[in-house]
Structure 1
Amino acid sequence: MAVLDWVLNSDPAIRWQALRDLAGAPADAVAAERARVTTDGWGARLLALQGEDGQWDGGACFPARWGETADGQSGEEAGQPWTSTLPTLQLLLDFGIDPHDDRVRRAVGQVHEHCHWEHAGQPFFDGEVEACINGRTVALGVYFGQDVEGVVARLLGEQLDDGGWNCWTEFGSVRSSFASTICVLEGLLAHERATGGSAESIAARRRGEEYLLERSLFRRKSTGEVVDPAWLRFSFPTRWHYDVLRGLEYFRAAGDPPDKRVDEAVRLLESRRQPDGTWPLENTHPGKVHFALEDGDGRPSRWNTLRALRVLDWYR
């Protein structure tokens, strides 16, 4: 209960999800707290930062002035910036902001009308060329009521023989990427929930799940070695990156009974729990942000604790 109280002592974006997923609060109390995401705290702050051009920080995936930092670092040294339209909308989705609120609808309408991808000038909700971007575009489009059927069709046509996806497919890659695959799976799941999906999209999503499950969510299928030690440390926001907690959260959201092949990943998750019952923030992805959501790596994380606890509730 002390951990739950600590999680609840936070921004409405966390509070409403903890009330729903951990506290079993009445639906009206959950709805009232969720409504505050648009008017108070982080969600309201992000909405207020939208530019007159309908974008955040002047770009779809990259800010208009990418590379300019206060301390003189290059863009590469400072990390990828996270203040443009794509990562900002992803945060609003993560916050669970009400997509039917008039302020949100107006904001998304501005994106629809004015935001275009840097790659070739495509309208934002028409998608780009990289699977990791298009998977997130599908999730965002479904959440905010936009037509992303064309992006879904493209993703279905780009699934690789091993069951996953890779952003480098256009350059000849035939081996899937965990990061690209999790982004696409989240998008296809959201699309399926909203529309019922198609036989083809459901089959593709199941094949993508098998790609992760065959690898226990973090191991090489060929050798059993850990693919990337960074995946064993949990971040929030995850951005386009993969880690074990993100993989587990996907399977929790999908709602199927836990497959035995996630057992090792769950044991890893449990091992990261601190003596006080919280989970720390461990792997913040560097780059310019609108504002901080946590106290920094190594400190207790309300986001990771919320996410870990609901994964364990599903697993048990």
Structure 2
Amino acid sequence: MSALSDRRSELVERILSLQDEDGCWNQLSPGDRYYPELKHYAPNYKSTLWTLILLADIECDPALPELRRPLQAITDHFFDRESGVYSIGKSHFPIPCLNGNMLYLHGYFGLESDYDDRVIAFFAQYQRFDDGDFKTPSAFPYFRNKSCYGAHTCYWGVTKLLKGLSFLAERRRKKNVKQLIQRCIDFILLHEVCYSSSDPARLLAGGADQLTFPNMYHSDFLEILWLLRREGRSDSSMNRALDLLKSKRQSDGTWRIERRIPDLITTVRSDFLSACITKRAEEVLHDA
């Protein structure tokens, strides 16, 4: 096996050794201020949701039987049967990043949930792509949620939604799915991957230009490029971000992690994270 595979196997084994009796990680208990809504969501980034994202991002074996129970647990916990989406309560309803991450986990680990068709239909109908001119209503479905649907739609919600949709099997990509994917991509290209649409000389958000792994709430510019490549997209609006990626290549042909995610379920070596970044960068630039 390669050095990357060896290090991945050791990390996965260590993470699995930390599972509780339910197969989860750091579950909140009754009496905690965030229980029950954020059970499996808090604490960042060492609860069950984030740990499964870490495992998927490092490309663990998706068929590991130890991961079925925790994935089913968060699916059942977060799904709001009344609204038909994954939810952590009305304060961030409807939260596209959580729903995108859940679609991603289901796609990566091969769990086809009946819930996902409702999620996709909801966001195909209601997801917004505003660029600074939206007034958030108090009624369904946004309920004054300015975090995700303020004057400018939360960019990270769009990128995470695209990530989830990108892992849908082709046979599940009906017309509304393809249209939603295209709207996500159009919004990203409007921002040249990681730049402000109103001031192209400025980054869209602090840290968007820093190589980060794994990608939790926020995407870095590399993850966005990687998703666009997964969807077979090549556009001149990607060129600045591609040039930025090339500029960060080290003399030995690799890339280095620039911003670490704190408080993961276990310590992850920087050289392993850099190797994961390098793999993604090589995939992005393969046909560039």
State the TM bucket, normalised to the shorter chain: 0.7 to 0.9
- Determine whether 1:259 maps to 2:248: no
Shift of 1:307: 1.3
Q: Call closer, same or farther: CA 1:194–1:82 in 2, change over 3 Å.
A: farther
Tell me the percent identity: 26
Whether 2:270 is the aligned partner of 1:295: answer: yes
| Aligned-pair CA distance for 1:267 | 0.4
C-alpha contact 2:49 2:74 (8 A) present in aligned 1: no
CA contact (8 A) 1:139 1:186 kept: yes
d(CA) in 2 for partners of 1:255 and 1:50? 37
2:255 to 275, 279, 282: 279
Q: 2:172 corresponds to which residue?
A: 196
SS at match of 2:24: coil
* CA shift for structure 1 position 56: 1.3
Letter in 2 for 1:44: E
Write the deviation string for residues 119-165 of structure 1: whole angstroms up to 9, x where unpaired: x9879x9611311111101111233314122222222233214489x
Q: Alignment RMSD, CA only?
A: 3.3
8 Å CA contact retained: 1:59, 1:85: no
**Aligned match of 1:152:** 120
1:108 is aligned to 2:71 = yes
2:106 to 141, 158, 162: 141
Deviations 1:10-49 (A, max 9, x none): 34475xxxxxxxxxxxxxxxxxxxxxxxxx4122222232
Structure 2 runs not aligned, ≥5 long: 35-41, 88-92, 137-141
C-alpha separation in 2, matches of 1:53 and 1:102: 13
Distance 2:81 2:60 in 1: 26
Q: Which amino acid is the alignment partner of residue 255 of structure 2?
A: W
TM-score after normalising by structure 2: 0.77
Q: How many residues align?
A: 257
For 1:243, which of 202, 208, 220 is the aligned residue?
Answer: 220
What is the letter of the counterpart of residue 248 of structure 1? L
Q: What SS does the aligned partner of 1:302 have?
A: helix
Matches within 5 A, 1:49-64: 49-59=18-28
In structure 2, the partner of 1:127 is 86
Output the CA distance in 2 between the equivalents of 1:136 and 1:186: 7
Q: CA separation in 2, counterparts of 1:163 and 1:154?
A: 21
Out of 268, 271, 282, the residue aligned to residue 309 of structure 1 is 282
Instruction: Give the deviation of 1:279 after TM superposition.
Output: 1.1
**For 1:243 and 1:80, how far apart are their aligned partners in 2?**
22
Structure 2: which amino acid aligns with 1:221? S
* 3-state SS in 1 of match to 2:213: coil
Q: Are the structure 2 counterparts of residues 176 and 251 from structure 1 closer, same or farther at C-alpha, using a change threshold of 3 Å?
A: same
SS, match of residue 222 in structure 1: coil
CA spacing shift, 1:199–1:59, aligned 2, 3 Å: farther
Name the TM-score, length of structure 1 as normaliser. Answer: 0.71
Structure 1: runs of 5+ lacking an equivalent? 15-39, 67-78
What amino acid does structure 2 have at the position aligned with 1:9? A
Please state which structure has a larger fraction of its residues in helix: 1
Residue 10 of structure 1 pairs with residue 8 of structure 2 = no
The Cα of 1:209 is off from its aligned counterpart by: 0.2
Contact kept in structure 1, 2:22 and 2:69, CA below 8 Å: no
Mean alpha-carbon deviation: is it higher for 96-105 or for 300-309? 96-105
> Following the alignment from structure 1 to structure 2, what is the Cα–Cα distance between the partners of residues 100 and 13?
19
Is the 1:163–1:210 contact (alpha carbons within 8 Å) kept by the matching residues of 2?
Answer: no
* 8 Å CA contact retained: 2:26, 2:43: no
